[in-house]
A and B are shown apart, each in its own frame.
Chain A
Amino acid sequence: MNLPIAPPQDPHPLELDQPRVSVRVPTVRVDKQGALSDPERVERAMRSFVADFGRTAAIYLESCIHCGMCAEACHFYEVTKDPQYTPIWKLEPFKQAYKREFGPLALIFRAFNLKAEVTAEQLEQWQHLIYDSCTVCGRCSLICPMGIDIAGLISQGRHGMFQAGLVPHELWAVAERAAREGSPLGATPAVFKDRIEWLADDHEIEIPVDKPRADVLCTMSSIEIMKYPESVVATAKVMNHLGLDWTFRTDGYEATNFGLLSGNTAWQKQLTLKLIEAAIACRAKLLVLPECGHAYGALRWMGANVYGKPLPFRVVHISEFLAEHVRDGSLKLKKLAKSVTFHDPCQVSRRGGAVEAPRDVLRALGVDLREMYPTKGTNWCCGGGGGVVAIHRADALRHKVFEIKMTQIEATGAEMPVTSCANCRQTFDDGQAHFHWDKTMHSLLELVADQLTEPGR
């Protein structure tokens, strides 16, 4: 028998020079969308980066003193001590592009090649850093001695990565599905309506849908619709208890915004406009956002800017809504004899400013509230925000990060962890299953709905 003489070629090169027994560092898969050449990917990323370089970004990118303190605030660095997870390093191609292509000294940087061009290979390497290992939680923005909002820059950096077709596949796929079907998890208008009917029957509760006029438009996140439908019922219970003129609408119910998380500004706008147009269509005075962190940022703080003018209605997170009605006495609650600790959803609390609202609600429930350390603005992220929970290859890293949360919660000795973000809740459920942990995350909204007194006002 004639054996081939030539050595095997790629994809299986000989590894004779490699040590026989060694710890292998698994290579991180790089995902690419679209049939683009490397130069095309770089050019598209650069064009997007430059489009994002306004005054605020320029101030930040001119200010970094490379002190590295941001690493100390990052949960991914905290658990790995791997310097590549230093938040400002996750922006290196973005910074490089600024200095070489846009900053006041760009001409000099280019003329003398003092800053290297961003390469396709570099962008591919950074996919892991800017998506898998950043939840855009903004903790790093609180430690930076220069005051740079690093998380804000990460979101802008993602715009360029999306344009270059360099988004983790799972995140891209759910974002694309959301743009195409109206929901990242298949909660299409028909599915949503079906679920509402089923839940209304099952719980013998009135859940109005598609009322032509309503004072309050309620919205949900796809995670709640598909995984935690009790939240839909809880929303209805609270609204009915308060006797409000409210509705869900099938033309604007899904508040999650994977356009924002993936970095596609067009999809972000499309998803945001659906909610705005639905609220305008039913002449709502108030739009209540669900227990979802990034949905709050996407509509409460970015909605008007996407729309191009101030919104003709108020936007509140459900925890703020509950707190308002607790404060004015319209929400009547039975006491709950439990010890509770509250996990702050980063986009609602640290970056959104709704820090005290959930605590006011918990106090009204009469629970023994035990704060974590750190808490409120500096609380640790659950590790699943920013779209990370959707990226399967990031699971191992995310689970490591989750250990911080378990330690924090165990230290409080509280019986029940509670949060007001379904994405955090999903991350906690996954972490609980992974670690066989005995603590289950609870929803603030569902807790309130369970403690409503009869009848309402």
Chain B
Amino acid sequence: MTMLAFARGPALLFALVFFVGLTGWRLCGIALLRSSVDLSEPRSKAAWKGLRLIALRSWPRREFLRGSAFSEITGYTFHIGLLAVLFFYVPHTKSFAEALNGLTGANLRIGGGWPALPAGAATTLTVISLGALVIALAHRLSNPVKRLISNFDDYFSWFMTAAPLATGLVVHGYLGSPHAEAILAVHLLAVDALLIWFPCGKLMHAFMLFAARGTTGVLFERKGAAL
């Protein structure tokens, strides 16, 4: 079995099963915990309206902008670039379609309404994302607050996120070369590793974001507290 076949075959399968299994374990482990019922008389009977905090907290209040704008802009730059390349770069979407076809027996085809990101745009976005990641790391290392509160999880998660982006760029640069297959295999292994690490550390914030904002939103809305 070639390295590429291993990376897109058993390694990917293991990574996906691990990702789904551990993500489910962590989410269920939290969801199944006891939660006491609030018996106080609510100020707002429609506490569910607090779920709007999920959207509201996506950008800081004007009063906090001065102190948080740098982190927000860096974060958004990196996330938007990563997600755009992940979901709209044609080789990725093709792979997803193939994987889905393999799993479901369907015959999905990429095209139609699904937007396709041209290779040049994907490369640019990847470079921008990587740049934002490097800036975020430099800030984490140089800012006294971030340096103090950072731990292994922060740095390793950074590495595991940057690796697929960096290797993806190399793949693009070596298309057609004799080493292309090996480089693609490394890229896919980096993706496999990311999937395995994802539920182990802070990358779980992709899911927890909704739970934490939603919980606070509902609790605070019930009291009429500031969101």
Contacts and interface: CB of A to CB of B under 8 A. Distances in A.
Given A67-B71, A67-B146, A351 B225 contact: yes
Of listed B29, B148, B225, residue having the most chain A CB within 10 A: B225
Given A59-B211, A146-B213, A355-B226, A86 B30 contact: no
A105 B28 CA distance: 12
A200 interface: no
B60 interface: yes
Nearest to B136: A67
A146 B225 contact: no
Interface stretch (A191-199, A219-227, A308-316, A391-399): A308-316
A142 B213 contact: no
Contacts of A58: 29-30, 33
Contact of A72 (B41, B67, B220, B225): B67
B215 A350 contact: no
A304 B40 contact: yes
A8 interface: no
A98 B58 CA distance: 27
A60 interface: yes
Contacts of B208: 59, 62-63, 146
Given A86-B148, A141-B216, A55 B33 contact: yes
A68 B70 CA distance: 12
Given A67-B71, A83-B145, A378-B63, A59 B223 contact: no
Interface centre among A92, A141, A353 (most CB of B within 10 A): A353
A147 B223 contact: no
Contacts of A67: 71, 75, 146
Given A62-B208, A149-B219, A353-B43, A54 B35 contact: yes
A249 interface: no
B34 interface: yes
Interface stretch (B2-10, B167-175, B185-193, B199-207): B199-207
B150 interface: yes
Interface residues of A, number: 64
Contact of A146 (B60, B72, B212, B219): B212
Contact of A350 (B147, B148, B200, B226): B226
B149 interface: yes
A103 B29 contact: yes
B64 to A, nearest CB: 5
A73 B147 CA distance: 18
A175 interface: no
B98 interface: no
A314 B54 CA distance: 31
A349 B220 CA distance: 12
A435 B222 CA distance: 40
A89 B150 CA distance: 10
Query: A73, A142, A307, A352: which has the most chain B beta carbons within 10 Å?
Result: A142
A55 B30 contact: yes
Interface in A306-337: 307-311, 314-315
Interface string B53-77: 1100110110110111001100100
A300 B223 CA distance: 9
Contact of A145 (B33, B57, B145, B150): B57
A297 to B, nearest CB: 9
Interface of B: 25-26, 28-31, 33-36, 38-41, 43, 53-54, 57-58, 60-61, 63-64, 66-68, 71-72, 75, 143-151, 153-154, 200, 202, 204-205, 208-209, 211-217, 219-220, 223-227
21 contacts: A60-B215, A62-B208, A65-B205, A72-B66, A72-B68, A83-B145, A83-B149, A89-B148, A104-B25, A145-B58, A146-B209, A148-B216, A304-B38, A304-B39, A307-B39, A310-B39, A311-B41, A353-B43, A353-B223, A353-B224, A378-B61
Interface of A: 53-56, 58-60, 62-69, 71-73, 77, 81, 83-84, 86, 88-89, 92, 103-105, 138, 141-149, 300-305, 307-311, 314-315, 349-355, 373-374, 376-378
